[in-house]
Every structure is written in structure tokens, then in C-alpha cells.
Amino acid sequence: MPTNLRDHLATNDAEPALADLIVTVVDTCSEISALVRRGALGEIMGALESENVQGEVQKKLDVISNDMLLQRCAASAGLVAMASEEMDDIHPVRDLTPKGGYLLLFDPLDGSSNIDVNVSIGTIFSILPAPMADAPRPAALADFLQKGRAQVAAGYVVYGPQTTLVLTLGDGVHAFTLDPDTGDWLQTSAGITIPPETKEYAINASNLRHWAPAVRGYVEVCLAGETGPRGKNFNMRWIASMVADVHRIMMRGGVFLYPWDAREPERAGKLRLMYEANPMSLLVEQAGGAAFDGHGAILDAEVTDLHQRISVMLGSRAEVAHIERLHQSA
């Protein structure tokens, strides 16, 4: 009988408050999955009048998912505060104490523009250690501004043909699939490793004219295939749902690029560091891959703002190393 998530966490000696927080997040994702599956039957499709801090039109399910995570995770005893793509400010839950605890960050429904067209979407989450405080005090924004390498756990749930959790606690990457009959999360992969080589890249090619020379050169050589300097043909995928594109890479290799582009030069890219790039980069590195931001490892990127954006190039280690060399020689 496959291991379930609770037994996996217990077997791997996960700190009890961390295990409880992870189980609470994932059980909430079970409920989000049920809403996603109902689609138009559930009257939760479509957009709201509101915009999030990113200036993106919020889908009903974005806000519903966000509120579900806030409400349910607040009960997890080790949780000090939360932050979300859908909220301008942090969401304090309980005071920091000398015992420490955890900070939870999430993109409650990444790829939500795909909801109305029935394409896979997902929830991404990151867990950071809460600082210890000599005297009890509420968490502050500055407590969240930790580099990605400080994460104690990261994961995503992809709402696709299967509902699957991919999780790391810093000691390898494992996958659990939701059994729709029992509601249990059963382990379906242990010790996921990303093949170091690949012939498959994922990028929104319509942005080619906006990219930096290194990225444009990389993609043009891929397009040249066996007639070009690398002498091999490549395949391209772009689901426009980071969770779905990254899950494919976790399962069969590849590289995912959402690089800086000239449309908004002051922004490092489109994707957010704290609750998209950092959790995905920890998962990818733990699976033997690499995650690069155009200058260095994403997990080492300086953090200055909760909603800062970053250029993302991640996946098969040898291919990311090739992309890094192109940046160094540009």
C-alpha cells in the first residue's frame, strides 16, 4: 500500500508543527481541487472587478482559494504569518516568540487565466522559518525578506488530469497523488530527479523581440535544430501555467524560461520571486536541476520586496549551465 502524506512526514521526522502546516495546506488544496473540477457548474468561473497587487484581474477562484488558505492555515499552531500573491500586505496570525515557527507564502492559484479554458493550474507554496523573538511581537514584512535558500519546505499542487502534490523538505523531492475516492494523498514518486540533458524548452516565443541577446540567441539556436551549431533538434512547449510547465520538467526534464524583457526594463521579469520562483527553484535544485536568474542562482537572489519579480530560467542542469554560459559571454 503506498505511503500517504501524513505517514511520509512522520517517517521522515518532519518537525510536528511543520508537518501539521504542510498537511493543512495540502488538505486545503484538496478542497480547491474540488472547486476547480466543478468549473462552470460551481458558478466560480470568470473574473471579478478587482485587481491584485500585481495589477492582474482577479478570477473568482483566485480570491476563493486565497481566502480558504488564510482561514484554514491560521489554525496551524506553528504558523506565525502568511503572504500571498493576492494580497498587498502580510497576514499576521500569531506573535513571534522565542520558539520561532513558520512563515507561509503562496500563489493560491497560479495560471488562473487558464481556469476558464480548462487548462491545468496549480497552487504554489513556500515555507520559511520565522525569526525567534525574545519578547513576543507580531511578524513584520522584513521577517519575510529571506533568500530562497532559507526555505524549510516548498511544494506545488497541480490540478490536472490528476491532482498531484510535489514536495520537498530539503531532503529530496517526492510526489503524492490525491485519491479522489478516499481523499487520501498517496505517494506516487520518491526521490524525483530531473534528467540533466534535454531537447525541450518552454518559453512564450511571442516575446522574442523583447529578450536580452543571450536568451534570443539561445532560442534561435534551438530553432535552427540539427542545421545549427548544436546539431540537434529541439521541441517546444508553453502551457502558460508555470505549475504545469514545471511539473512536466520534473517528470521528464526540460528548461522553463520566463526571462527579463525590454517591455518593462525596470522589472527583472514577470514571475514573482517569493512565492513562485523560490519554491520552484528549491524543488528543481532538490531534484538535481538548476535555477538561474540571469546573474546567479535564484535561491541566492537578494530579497528587497515581498512582491519583487525575477527572471526565471530553470530545469535540466546541463541545459541551464549552457544558458548561463551564454549570459556570461554576452
Binding-site residue set for Mg(2+) = 85, 107, 109-110, 276
The yes or no reply on residue 240 touching ligand P6P (CB under 6 A) is yes
Is the CB of 22 or the CB of 312 nearer to ligand P6P? 312
Residue 164 and residue 188 in contact, taking contact as beta carbons nearer than 8 Å: yes
User: Which is it for the CA torsion 277, 16, 82, 152, positive or negative?
Assistant: negative
Residue 244 and residue 160 in contact, taking contact as beta carbons nearer than 8 Å: yes
Helix, strand, coil percent values for the chain (each to nearest 5): 35, 25, 40
- The stretch near ligand P6P (CB under 6 A) out of 97-105, 219-227, 239-247, 287-295 is 239-247
The yes or no reply on residue 308 touching ligand P6P (CB under 6 A) is no
Residue 293 and residue 313 in contact, taking contact as beta carbons nearer than 8 Å: yes
Is the CB of 58 or the CB of 76 nearer to ligand P6P? 58
Rama region for 14: left / alpha / beta (φ>0; ψ in -120 to 50; rest): beta
Site string for ligand P6P, 185-214 (x = CB under 6 A): -------------------x----------
The yes or no reply on residue 75 touching ligand P6P (CB under 6 A) is no
Q: For Cα atoms 329, 266, 111, give the angle at the middle one, nearest 5 degrees.
A: 95
Is the CB of 77 or the CB of 240 nearer to ligand P6P? 240
Q: For Cα atoms 263, 269, 274, give the angle at the middle one, nearest 5 degrees.
A: 150
Is the CB of 78 or the CB of 253 nearer to ligand P6P? 253
The yes or no reply on residue 84 touching ligand P6P (CB under 6 A) is no
Among 163, 168, 241, 286, binds ligand P6P (CB under 6 A): 241
The yes or no reply on residue 66 touching ligand P6P (CB under 6 A) is no
Distance in Å, CB of 54 to ligand P6P, minimum: 9
| Number of DSSP helices (H) and strands (E) in the chain, helices first | 8, 15
* Residue 51, helix vs strand vs coil: strand
- In the region spanning residues 94 to 113, those forming contacts with ligand P6P, defined by CB under 6 A, are 110-111, 113
Residue nearest to ligand P6P (CB): 242
Distance in Å, CB of 139 to ligand P6P, minimum: 26
To 10 degrees, what angle do helices 317-329 and 213-224 make?
130
The yes or no reply on residue 124 touching ligand P6P (CB under 6 A) is no
Q: Alpha-carbon distance 58 to 51, whole Å?
A: 5
Distance in Å, CB of 8 to ligand P6P, minimum: 27
- The stretch near ligand P6P (CB under 6 A) out of 37-45, 63-71, 164-172, 238-246 is 238-246
The yes or no reply on residue 177 touching ligand P6P (CB under 6 A) is no
Grid coordinates belonging to 112: 488562473
To 10 degrees, what angle do helices 278-286 and 242-252 make?
10
Q: Which residues bind ligand P6P (CB under 6 A)?
A: 110-111, 113, 204, 240-242, 245, 258, 270-271
